[in-house]
């Protein structure tokens, strides 16, 4: 955390500090033209299906390429942990780290959710966010983060010594076992770092530790996505409820979440630029 310092300051310290920051991955060349098309398209959607995610549990859902899906708060303030996979190839899954490097710590409208190597393509684009008014608060906190990994039983055991079976990692694992008939070892290995939907988080100013606050989400708020390939989603309703106090708890007040799937009229999408797998040549330098 860089709060324990044992080395001496160098004599040329003023020459070593104070450099201007340089954005590592400028995203100017990532296509943004699709968003205008998607905003027109979303005005003419027809609901196809909906799934209720019970508190402290997870479920999977399928979204076909060209459909929209929404994650919605329905009964009370509740955050959710989202995994996304290529429906036909579970090895291609959401890559929160690279998405964070491209778009920052928290996602909103127009940001794309990129997949893991060796694919690196957009799985989905965020098309609407009823909480985008929150922006960043005085503590640097905001909603829909890609900095937290997901609450899990291993860290819970490390910090508390207790076994807790309804962490989002556990919930997502069980949902995949049920949906894809996987053995638990297989499912657990493909569960990945999440988009923390509705969760209000940031890094503390002093120690730069990951923090959470009570989410501003209320019933009727939703985050909407456009599926750029056939997707398998998995969503856990976090056992921390609004995560205002703790995130692995049987005490926190928790509520269900709703996932709704929406069909779009193809005529609106005909000019959409398609998401493509990276064409990087992996064989270079290999005999």
The pTM assigned to this predicted structure is 0.96
Residues 6+ apart with CB under 8 A from 85: 92, 93, 94, 190, 231, 232, 233, 234
Residue 189 has pLDDT above 80, yes or no: yes
Structure tokens at 53: 């995610």
Structure confidence by residue, pLDDT tens digits, 74-119? 999 999 999 999 999 999 999 999 999 999 999 999 999 999 999 9
87-100 as b/e: b if 16+ CB within 10 A: beebebbbbbebbb
Structure tokens at 224: 């909407």
276 lies in some domain: no
10 lies in some domain: no
Structure confidence by residue, pLDDT tens digits, 201-231? 999 999 999 999 999 999 999 999 999 999 9
125 vs 112: CA distance, rounded Å: 4
Band (pLDDT 50/70/90 cuts) for residue 32 is confident
CA distances from 215 to 77, 140, 142, 143, 207 (A): 7, 14, 9, 8, 22
14 lies in some domain: no
Helix (H) or strand (E) holding 178: helix 168-180
Structure confidence by residue, pLDDT tens digits, 110-153? 999 999 999 999 999 999 999 999 999 999 999 999 999 999 99
* Polymer length of the chain: 287
Residue 187 has pLDDT above 90, yes or no: yes
> What pLDDT score was predicted for residue 203?
97
162 lies in some domain: yes
Rg of the chain taking only CA atoms, in angstroms: 20
Closest CA to 198 of 70, 60, 86: 70
> For the chain, what is the domain count?
1
- Cβ-contact 236, 201 below 8 angstroms: no
End-to-end CA distance of the chain: 42
45 lies in some domain: yes
Q: By three-state DSSP, how is residue 98 classified?
A: helix
Helix (H) or strand (E) holding 160: helix 153-160
Closest CA to 211 of 226, 195, 200, 224: 200
> What pLDDT score was predicted for residue 285?
83
282 lies in some domain: no
Q: Are strands 222-227 and 122-129 parallel, antiparallel or unpaired?
A: antiparallel
Q: By three-state DSSP, how is residue 44 classified?
A: helix
280 lies in some domain: no
224 vs 131: CA distance, rounded Å: 11
21 lies in some domain: no
Residue with structure tokens 């003023």? Answer: 14
CA distances from 243 to 17, 151, 156, 263 (A): 37, 11, 15, 32
Residue with structure tokens 């989905």? Answer: 124
Identify the domain containing residue 125 by its residue range: 38-268
Structure tokens at 83: 């995994």
170 vs 154: CA distance, rounded Å: 10
Residue 287 has pLDDT above 80, yes or no: no
């Amino acid at each position: 955390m860089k709060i324990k310092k044992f080395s001496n300051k160098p004599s040329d310290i003023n020459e070593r500090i104070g450099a201007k920051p340089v954005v590592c991955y400028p995203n100017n060349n990532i296509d943004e033209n699709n968003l205008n098309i998607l905003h027109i398209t979303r005005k003419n959607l027809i609901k196809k299906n909906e799934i209720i995610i019970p508190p402290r549990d997870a479920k999977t859902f399928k979204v076909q390429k060209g459909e929209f899906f929404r994650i919605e708060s329905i009964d009370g303030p509740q955050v959710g942990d989202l995994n996304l996979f290529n429906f036909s190839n579970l090895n291609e899954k959401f890559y929160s780290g690279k998405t964070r490097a491209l778009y920052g710590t928290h996602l909103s409208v127009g940001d794309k959710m990129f997949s893991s190597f060796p694919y690196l393509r957009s799985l989905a684009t965020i098309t609407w966010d009823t909480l985008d008014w929150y922006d960043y608060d005085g503590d640097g906190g905001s909603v829909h983060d890609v900095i937290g990994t997901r609450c899990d039983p291993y860290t819970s055991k490390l910090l508390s010594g207790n076994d807790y079976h309804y962490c989002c990692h556990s919930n997502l694992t069980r949902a995949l076992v049920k949906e894809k008939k996987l053995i638990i070892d297989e499912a657990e290995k493909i569960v990945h770092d999440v988009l923390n939907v509705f969760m209000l988080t940031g890094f503390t100013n002093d120690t730069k530790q990951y923090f959470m606050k009570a989410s501003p989400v209320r019933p009727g708020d939703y985050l909407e996505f456009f599926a750029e390939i056939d997707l398998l989603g998995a969503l856990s309703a976090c056992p921390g409820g609004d995560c205002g106090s703790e995130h692995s708890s049987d005490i926190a007040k928790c509520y269900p979440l709703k996932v709704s799937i929406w069909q779009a009229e193809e005529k609106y999408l005909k000019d959409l630029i398609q998401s493509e797998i990276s064409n990087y040549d992996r064989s270079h330098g290999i005999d």
